[in-house]
Amino acid sequence: MANITASMVSDLRAKTGAGMMDCKKALTEANGDMEEAVSILRKKGLSAAAKKAGRAAAEGMIVAEGNDSAGVLVEVNAETDFVAKNEAFQKFCNGVAGVVLEKAPADLDALMGMAFPGTGRTVLEEQNHQVATIGENISVRRFSRFETGSGVVANYIHGAGKIGVLVELTASKQDDKVSETARQLAMHVAAAFPQYLKREEVPAEVVEKEKEIMRVKALNSGKPEKIIDKIIEGQINKFYGEVCLLEQAFVMDTDLQVAKLVANVGKEIGAEVTLSRFVRYQLGEGLDKKQDDFAAEVAALSGN
């Protein structure tokens, strides 16, 4: 067995751009043969993947899988929005969602180590394979999985994978009306962008910051200080109505609050129905997106 030195690992990393541990494993497998180690990394897609890993990936798509009792959302990022139309990329995204639904991984690391269906590769290895095949940096960014023993999990994808939503309704009785309402609420969440389920979930520091902004605005507008607390009380309730799902006006009937909608469904079917949780993904949120300067590109091509 060849002695794998730090300089050998460093040299292989310089040749391929792959991670240090991957380089060490490849050299060990190749018994110190540098060219064989390069070949091993290329076969695993790690060389190509590593070279592209530094490139911004904020496009891609959000996909959903599920049945009435369980549902998942998965966001997979790529460098350009064209990739979302690629059949191989779509198949990969749906495959990852299927793994999440069936295997319920604890976190992203656990998911990446699971078997990807029909390939003999892990999810991570299949991701790297897709990077090498498609030619863009591709990354499984995040996932959410809901499962209920009593109720419904509904999913909704909007805008060809730009927005994804999961909503869970628990119910003491199974009824088509619960499924229909869950689906409508998932569409509502996509449109209304709630940040919390109920006001008790809003962090105290967020509320205090909003109150301070309201106070300054009221003072600057010349309102008497003695009535400012009353003004803030009304405005903070409006704030909760904007950011808390249960307090929002239902988009399909703005005279009806979401909490009231859910209560009405319970009365209609003679059961206890509760909106338990939701999650909303927007593609690339929080990521730095590449800004293309097409004018500069054209000028560069024309030599101007």
Q: What ranges do the domains of the chain cover? A: 6-52
Q: What pLDDT does residue 220 have?
A: 86
Q: 278 and 168 in contact (C-beta within 8 Å)? A: yes
Percent of the chain with pLDDT strictly greater than 90: 63
What is the secondary structure of 200-219 as a DSSP string? Answer: GGS-HHHHHHHHHHHHHHHH
Mean pLDDT to the nearest integer, 269-285: 95
Question: Is a pLDDT exceeding 90 seen at residue 71?
Answer: yes
Name the more confident of 85 and 11: 85
Percent of the chain with pLDDT strictly greater than 70: 89
Q: How far, in Å, CA of 275 to CA of 171, rounded?
A: 9
Name the more confident of 250 and 299: 250
pTM of the model: 0.75
The three-class DSSP label of residue 125 is helix
Burial (CB count <10 Å: 0-12, 13-18, 19+), residue 32? middle
Question: Is a pLDDT exceeding 90 seen at residue 68?
Answer: no
Taking the CB of residue 34, how many other CB atoms lie within 10 A of it? 14
Q: What pLDDT does residue 291 have?
A: 46
CATH number listed for the domain at residues 6-52: 1.10.8.10
Mean pLDDT to the nearest integer, 69-87: 92
- Average pLDDT over the chain reads 88
Question: Is a pLDDT exceeding 50 seen at residue 292?
Answer: no
Q: What pLDDT does residue 301 have?
A: 42
Task: Grade residue 247 by pLDDT with cuts at 50, 70 and 90.
Answer: very high
Question: Is a pLDDT exceeding 90 seen at residue 196?
Answer: yes
| Residue 168, beta-bridge partner list | 153, 277
* Residue of 216, 220, 164, 152 lying closest to 189 (CA atoms): 164
Q: How far, in Å, CA of 151 to CA of 171, rounded?
A: 5
* Residue of 111, 83, 278, 288 lying closest to 184 (CA atoms): 278
Residue-wise pLDDT for 95-141, tens only, equals 999 999 999 999 999 999 999 999 999 999 999 999 988 888 899 99
Mean pLDDT to the nearest integer, 235-252: 96
Weakest mean pLDDT among 6-15, 26-35, 118-127: 6-15
- Please give the DSSP secondary-structure letter assigned to residue 278: E
